[in-house]
Chains A and B, each alone.
Chain A
Amino acid sequence: MTTKSLTIAGAPRRRKFPWPTFGRAVGLTAVVVTFVAPLAWMLLASFKTNVDIYDSSKMFAFLPTLDNYGTVFGQANYGAYIWNSFFVAFVATVLSLVLAVPAAYSMSRFVMGRSAMVVLLARIIPGVSLLVPWYFVFSQMRLVGSFAVLILSMMFVSLPLILYIMMSYFDSMPEELEEAAQVDGLTPIGAFLRITLPLSMPGVATAGILSFIFAWNNFMFALVLSGASTKTLPVAIFDFVGYASIDWGGLMAAAVIVTLPIMVIALFTQKYIVSGLTAGATKG
């Protein structure tokens, strides 16, 4: 009765509360908080002294300090490790691209299913089962701890990944352009180099970025195969974990330094990363 009279009185009709929209907004907020809050906590702790980290009253209100970053770059010599990580990931990515992009083209155009399977096996096999024989061979050659071996092992992470992404990229590229170029007098390889390759640069970028990230993040191969002077960041982070105690502030600063470059790259190349991670997965 009352609602009816209100409507008649010319008041705006009461709209139903938009529960679906509201629920969705709550859900999305929860998603963002869940995924970002722990990272924010790590960042926050990296600006705290160890005394403040142990003080629960200073959870959010504390006097920020750069001491931890001082330790990381000074005592812990992180400048060198950042360079090692960058060098290894970069060289491994470039070499893998040179090897894998033509191979992916060949496997896509000539449908070499069985050969592709062998390479994709590399994604399935547990890394430890490769490390034992590698360690056997490389320690005989006294190469354990060298950049060469480290780069070789990272290429093993990068190459199958690049091959996988580029194969699904070439699969989706029409062949007509290459054929037209060959009619116009280019050799098949010329058509690949001058037509197909320039056109597939977005795919190459995707594969390259992901390969760099995976090589940068790789821990197990570096743990066994790196030496004191070739140590990469994921291994160096353990310098802050002692037998008796942990330097939490330094550890968090080190963790920030490992992850921050990758996250900055991810922010700027978001589209590429997403297309690379989902490559081939939706073909069924």
Chain B
Amino acid sequence: MSQVAHGDVGAWEKTSRWVNRRRKWVFAAPAMIFVALLLVFPVVWTLYLSFTNSKGSVRAPFDFTGFENYFTVLTDTERFWPAVGRTAYFTGGALVFEVILGIAIALLLWKPFKGERLVRVAILLPLVATPVAVGMMWRLIFEPNIGFANEFLSWFGIPAQPWLSSPDTALSTLVFVDVWQWTPMVTLIILAGLTALPEEPDEAARVDGANWWQRLWYVTLPLLAPTITAAVVLRGIDALKTFDILYATKGKGGGSFHEVETLNIYAYGLSFDYNRYGQASTVLILFFLMIIGLIWILSLRKKAANK
């Protein structure tokens, strides 16, 4: 009896020692296996599908067609290239405004003031709000006949705008919505960067007689450059992949004229509205390559800046 118990303790100790010695992998393996199963397999599968003519039902047989999809997609000036253009326009526009406004608001909030808590809560609200609900909210505000946006303009004698309902203005209006929701994100990152800055350079510049603007432009912003780059990368990746507000305001296919159809919306439509999985996979692979390329360029610039 006691011998069995003794043996158990030995086994337990052995296992314990084994587990402790290999804790690096015991800890990391479950998460990594999970991610590998749900990430690596899909990426490989998408790559494979992009060379096939899979469409219709997911159970339907399909053939290997080589680079046919890539040829079709890359010569498609009706849906693919306009979608690339819209993605660039949306992401570029959103990033420019979000970074400039985000830095401006962070500077406003930097030094302590009365009511700081209230302002900090106010900028946090858009950030946590459900994007689909945010899309619906702006859909009502930008409604040409009953929305508040045109009512607001009429107070200043400005004629009513079509906002989301016109193919010419819809994408720009959605850039505005994205800027409204995500500028606080940039502000928070920049604020964290500002608080971590050393005070000496600013003080030294002040002693040397630099005014507020000079200290900001020649001292604070250069010191903040790595933080700004981090904010641009984080926000840029998410802006490229924007889906929720576009789908919530314009529905399938980015509106009746595809006026807000970005690459992500296009790939989603190809997959789940048209069920053309092969072609959708090609678009996704090209989209993914573009994202990786952009990150690579940004990281090169960052390395150059660090030198």
Contact = CB atoms under 8 A, between A and B. Distances in A.
A112 B42 contact: no
Contacts of B277: 132, 136
B103 interface: no
Interface stretch (A5-13, A38-46, A198-206): A38-46
Interface in A83-142: 99-100, 102-103, 105-107, 109-110, 112, 115, 118-119, 121-136, 139-140
A48 to B, nearest CB: 11
Interface stretch (A65-73, A74-82, A257-265): A257-265
A270 B120 CA distance: 9
B163 to A, nearest CB: 14
A248 to B, nearest CB: 6
Contacts of A150: none
Given A28-B119, A31-B105, A126-B287, A36 B125 contact: yes
Given A119-B31, A126-B291, A41 B148 contact: yes
Nearest to B183: A35
A273 interface: yes
A160 B280 CA distance: 25
Interface string B107-140: 0110001010011111111111111111011101
A47 interface: no
Question: Which of A126, A248, A258, A262 has the most chain B CB atoms inside 10 A of its CB?
Answer: A126
Given A32-B118, A217-B131, A188 B28 contact: no
Given A270-B124, A273-B124, A129 B267 contact: yes
Question: Which of A45, A130, A278 has the most chain B CB atoms inside 10 A of its CB?
Answer: A278
Question: Which of B125, B272, B277 has the most chain A CB atoms inside 10 A of its CB?
Answer: B125
Contacts, number: 273
Q: Is the interface of A mostly helix, strand, loop or mixed?
A: helix
Question: Which of A39, A128, A163, A281 has the most chain B CB atoms inside 10 A of its CB?
Answer: A128
Contacts of A35: 122-123, 125-126, 180, 184
Interface in B136-151: 136-138, 140-141, 143, 145-146, 148, 151
B67 interface: no
B27 A59 contact: no
Given A126-B241, A224-B272, A282 B42 contact: no
Interface in A270-284: 270, 273-274, 277-278, 280-282, 284
B16 A187 contact: yes
Interface residues of A, number: 91
A191 to B, nearest CB: 10
B226 interface: yes
Interface stretch (B77-85, B164-172, B189-197, B214-222): B189-197
Given A39-B129, A41-B148, A59-B151, A133 B120 contact: no
Q: Is the interface of B mostly helix, strand, loop or mixed?
A: helix
A255 interface: yes
A219 B193 contact: no
Nearest to B116: A28
Nearest to B19: A189
Contacts of B41: 133
B173 interface: no
A130 B272 contact: no
B129 A263 contact: yes
Interface in A185-226: 187-189, 192, 213, 216-217, 219-220, 223-224
A122 B138 contact: no
Nearest to B150: A56
B49 interface: yes
Nearest to A266: B128
A234 interface: yes
A51 B236 CA distance: 41
B140 A45 contact: yes
Contact of B264 (A102, A128, A254, A258): A128
26 contacts: A31-B105, A31-B119, A35-B184, A36-B122, A42-B133, A42-B140, A59-B148, A102-B31, A118-B40, A125-B288, A126-B240, A126-B284, A129-B46, A129-B284, A130-B38, A131-B272, A132-B45, A132-B277, A132-B280, A136-B45, A139-B58, A163-B31, A219-B131, A274-B124, A281-B189, A282-B230
Given A54-B146, A252-B136, A277-B188, 19 more contacts: A27-B108, A34-B180, A38-B137, A42-B137, A53-B140, A99-B34, A106-B23, A118-B40, A126-B267, A133-B42, A140-B59, A223-B247, A224-B272, A256-B133, A277-B185, A281-B192, A281-B230, A284-B226, A284-B230
